[in-house]
Amino acid sequence: MVSDVTIRRCGIEDAAHVRACIDSVARERRFLAMVEAPSVEEISAFIAQPDVVQVVAVGTDVIVGWADVRRMQTPGLRHRGAVGMGVLTGHRRRGIGSRLLTAIIEAADAMDIQRLELQVFRSNGPALHLYETHGFRVEGELPKARILDDVVDDILLMCRQRDRAV
């Protein structure tokens, strides 16, 4: 566990630093569907959405990871939320991803989101393990869904359902 990293809610003022973090992970071309980050303006607009919560991991004044949940907007689907996250390469396997994911699960609970969903590449074993330890289960797969740099990968569809009495 890394004690010198703080997990906190993201604000519009963080957009440029969040973009730099996302861009670093995206340019690895292994973990995210995108290969470069959206613009600062697009990230600012995302953060500002009322049904989005984004948290960041900050270490020594640098954002080293992020996680977000976005509530689905379609009537009948508003109980669902989509999760995204990433951690800079030099900060992985130190408990930051677990702390980010815990913060997002808590935020989703506060938003009364009952079903958290995400997509992950089958080749990303550490992420699969992280999600499974936080209650996510594979619900489906998209075989050969990504072919990038001559590498073929499946996408796994994962979900965490919040237990609640109906």
Sort residue 25 into left (φ over 0), alpha (ψ -120 to 50) or beta: alpha
pTM of the model: 0.93
Question: CB–CB of 84/108 below 8 Å?
Answer: no
* Rounded CA separation 113/106 (Å): 10
Residue 30 has a pLDDT of 96
Kindly provide the residue ranges of all beta strands, DSSP E only, lying in 74-136, ordered along the sequence: 80-87, 115-121
Q: Which domains does the chain have, with CATH numbers?
A: 5-161 (3.40.630.30)
Eight-state DSSP code of residue 12: G
Mean local confidence (pLDDT), 108-119: 96
- Residue 138 has φ and ψ, to the nearest 5°, of -70, 125
* Per-residue pLDDT tens over the stretch 6-43: 999 999 999 999 999 999 999 999 999 999 999 999 99
Asked if residue 166 has pLDDT above 60, the reply is no
* Rounded CA separation 133/8 (Å): 22
Tell the residue number behind the tokens 């957009």, with chain if given: 15
Kindly provide the residue ranges of all beta strands, DSSP E only, lying in 3-51, ordered along the sequence: 5-9
* Per-residue pLDDT tens over the stretch 78-107: 999 999 999 999 999 999 999 999 999 999
